[in-house]
Structure 1
């Protein structure tokens, strides 16, 4: 265990929604929900203004609309989220070479690593001052995003600390005070204590970390099994010596989503895998790559993680092939207890694709499926330029009015609010959906490598109109 509080955990506040509010002045201070906007949609992120009404991640969009009908319901703009994430990760690397991204909006860094740490004051006051400067730097480079930060002697405690003063807070856990801080907390604060494990602990009379700390290792192993029992026994005593590990070059392309509420609907899981497969395929095509091995990652309600893979006869970059294989792999898994995480990946990368007689048919099938499944999968930006489908919240540009974003669409009309992050709240105008003066706006691409890039928190993006505006 470390003797100093030198592990920092940074978590961007309501990340997807905050980026939308940053880029859309008319939505600042108002409830915003990012995710699926159709009848079968799922909330990815809700702004804090929407959370007041009980809207949260992994809730169905239908329920979210019932709780907060006046919110703006937007599909995801992952290019904007990736750009903001890259700015944050670069700011973190100014402080330490050891940065461990957990997702687009979350990372650990080691304050005691690298030449930057020479002579650094790692006292509680010193790391608090450093963390405040880092939060200010994140706010500066992202154009106003806020972050909650925890600093402690371990990754576990730093993560706990960052959750204590949300949003836009900072908590430093002084060395030696970890167990005192943990004891009153519910046992579910410990990673691995999901609903099923928590229920098993409750039946044994264990409700808090203090209760858990009082149980012997042997009893916990008997209750939960050797791996889980030993892990909880250590974490209940704040024992966590895992190092911060800098990101490694990945040899696969993958997308995954983590959900605050367990998913139990099998059709929804298949829909999410389908959308993730399309994102993977899009990124493969972007880099001129294909892959032979399709895999899925599933983290169950009790935090057990399962992986399944299937190797194809030849490399592919076809979304339908990847999605079909992923759904088949899911069919072999027991998901009845609920799922916390889903992911799709392709490995065995190659820079060629086997041309065969079915290639054109596959691409035609993919286009047809994309059109039919708009309530389940976000339409890729390049398809928007060829179709009269306008995703709510997506960036557009008009020959006369300039840049703006899609407010809503329906009945042959698309409504646009013309504003950007650099302008005041702008006017709203409506156009025919096939107006040649209106087109999607795509920013210059950031340098992007075919590496693992999990889109957290939750990675749902679906099409329909935002609530509380025309077309909803």
Structure 2
């Protein structure tokens, strides 16, 4: 069993790829999202550090980003360019004597032996040489520690987080600083008197089991102690879902039209599922009401399926669960695959 886990995270990945193609934009606030027109509806995919200083972040409406940072340069999303850059980085990581688990476009875990700082610096150097991109490397005894360490090393740094430093670094931080704890869970924990990581670590697992379930409750306590038994696995990365969504430049008021758009998106998703050669087990529909309230509902397929009729039927069944018939600015359909 390897002694160390490294978490490699590419800094401002999408923006960094765009800056390679547009070096004249270095040092300027850059926002990537939609078709690059902030006058249209759409959301920010990523922003350069210069734009983030103005409060621009992923998921922010492009129009809001333009108001916050009127001097920003807006660029359209180019998935092919990002996938190509990601492939170069992951190929570089696989050249190391390590188990490599790809976690997405811009991040991966490595299980390594030897001096972790030395390996981390070598990783940074090789990624810079082969892809001309910067990365931050978090070091830990497990994936949880390494993942959280990355946040303290950004940008382009190396940070180690272990059992010995865990509470010194994280003890006074709110529980949503933990990987896997969202804002809603953090609020529930705070209402129970476990508002910080240290307080959660001292909580009674039996009490949490009653509130959050027999598996989740004790897991939250283990998380607060920095414990994570999940291994770094070298099996090829496969997406957990396929999705399509569209933002409308004018709100859809007619829900017959909403239904038609969901059916259209479901058929596009079905094409993606068929190309994946994996059967979907659940379909989720996302509705963003005007002005910017998002809701989701899902529908389980009666049997795993790849066909457009089954996926479209499930998407429409999920849509039927939306009680509100307010104007819609965005629709999305996601087909989920079973866990391997």
TM-score (norm 2): 0.76
**Larger fraction in helix:** 2
CA distance in 1, matches of 2:264, 2:47: 20
Aligned to 1:370: none
- The aligned counterpart of 2:153 is 165
Counterpart check, 1:243 vs 2:231: yes
Counterpart position of 2:293: none
Instruction: Tell me, yes or no, if the aligned pair for 2:178 and 2:224 is still in contact at 8 Å.
Output: yes
Q: Which residue of 2 aligns with 1:233?
A: 221
- 1:295 touches 1:326 (CA, 8 Å); kept in 2? no
Displacement of 1:243 in angstroms is: 0.2
Query: For 1:278 and 1:14, how far apart are their aligned partners in 2?
Result: 33
| Number of residue pairs aligned between Structure 1 and Structure 2 | 309
Contact 1:294 1:344 in 2 (8 A): no
Q: How does 1:435-450 map to 2 (within 5 A)?
A: none
Q: 2:118 aligns with which of 129, 134, 137?
A: 129
1:193 equivalenced with 2:194 (yes/no): no
> Is the Cα contact below 8 Å between 1:187 and 1:207 reproduced in 2?
yes
Counterpart-to-counterpart distance in 2, 1:251 and 1:41: 24
Aligned 8 A contact 1:273 1:326 in 2: yes
Q: For 1:48-67, list aligned pairs within 5 A.
A: 48-67=49-68
- Per-residue Cα deviation, 1:79-118 (whole angstroms, up to 9, x for no partner): 1100111011111111145221111011111114xxxxxx
Q: Compared with structure 1, are the counterparts of its residues 297 and 56 closer, same or farther at alpha carbon in structure 2 (3 Å cutoff)?
A: same
- Structure 2: distance between partners of 1:227 and 1:256: 33
Aligned residue number for residue 33 of structure 2 = 35
Aligned partners of 1:275, 1:73: CA distance in 2, in Å? Answer: 29
SS in 2 for 1:95: coil
Q: CA deviation at 1:178?
A: 2.8
User: Which of these two proteins has the greater Rg computed from alpha carbons?
Assistant: 1
- Counterpart of 2:291 in structure 1 is none
Corresponding residue for residue 205 of structure 1: 193
Q: What is the Cα deviation at residue 161 of structure 1?
A: 0.1
Structure 2: distance between partners of 1:308 and 1:216: 35
Map 1:376-395 to 2 at 5 A. Answer: none
Q: Deviations over 1:233-253 (max 9, x none)?
A: 111111111101223475987
Secondary structure of the 1:65 match is helix
Aligned to 1:329: 318
Aligned partners of 2:42 and 2:336: how far apart in 1?
A: 25
How far the C-alpha of 1:280 sits from its partner, in A, is: 5.0
Structure 1: how far apart are the matches of 2:50 and 2:285? Answer: 31
- In 1: Cα distance, 2:241 partner to 2:268 partner: 9
Aligned equivalent of 2:90: 89
RMSD: 4.0
User: 1:180-207, CA deviations, whole angstroms, 9 ceiling, x for partnerless residues?
Assistant: 3331222111233222211112222322
2: CA distance, partners of 1:236 / 1:314: 39
Whether the aligned pair in 2 keeps the contact of 1:294 and 1:325 (CA below 8 Å) is no
Give the aligned partner of residue 18 of structure 1.
16
Show structure 2 runs of 5+ residues with no match: 246-254, 287-295, 325-331
- Segment of structure 1 superposing worse, 145-154 or 30-39: 30-39
Deviation at 1:8?
0.8
What corresponds to 2:289 in structure 1?
Answer: none
SS at match of 1:39: coil
TM-score normalised over the length of structure 1: 0.56
Unpaired segments ≥5 residues, structure 1: 113-120, 258-266, 300-304, 336-341, 349-451, 453-472
Between 1 and 2, higher relative CO (CA 8 Å, sep ≥ 6) is seen in: 1
